[in-house]
Amino acid sequence: MKLRHIMMSDKFDDDREASVVVQTRPKTKRPPLYKVLLLNDDYTPMEFVVHILERFFGMNHAQAFEVMLTVHKRGVAVVGVFSHEIAETKVGQVMDFARRHQHPLQCTMEKED
Ligand code: TYC
């Protein structure tokens, strides 16, 4: 916790200044959150994207299909919001899995405002 010095108007008789140290209100800034984005492309099979959304983003089949269709139609969608570390892990998992299956699927992260 940050400490703040308060100078007292009191003076010792030898010119030293008296001071006390008090605790300020603890500033607990919440860590920033990151959106994980999935991008459309013309080649990755729809079923593969649905599988990714189920496997790495905990969606059921209906949710995963709906989000996949949103990306397909609009070009991009937010598929989750996480701490920096978790978002990085998700992006890495998706990119690895897509590369291992030789699909050009792209996944990125972006700081939330
Ligand atoms: N556009 C792809 C197709 O028609 C499907 C797709 C959906 C690809 C979402 C990527 O993030 C994606 N096969």
76 lines ligand 1 (CB under 6 A): no
CA of 104 to the centre of ligand 1 (A): 10
Helix (H, G, I), strand (E, B) or coil at 85: helix
Rounded average pLDDT over 69-79:
98
Q: What is the 3-state secondary structure (H, E, C) of 33-46?
A: CEEEEEECCCCCCH
pLDDT in tens, 77-113: 999 999 999 999 999 999 999 999 999 999 999 999 8
> Which residues sit opposite 19 in a β-bridge?
7
Nearest CA to ligand 1 atom 10: 40
Say what the pTM is: 0.80
Q: What pLDDT, on the 0 to 100 scale, is given for residue 21?
A: 63
pLDDT in tens, 16-48: 556 666 567 888 999 999 999 999 999 999 999
**Measured distance CA(109)–CA(15) in Å, rounded:** 58
**Of the candidates 79, 84, 73, the residue with the CA atom closest to the CA atom of residue 107:** 79
41 lines ligand 1 (CB under 6 A): yes
Residue 3 pLDDT > 50: no
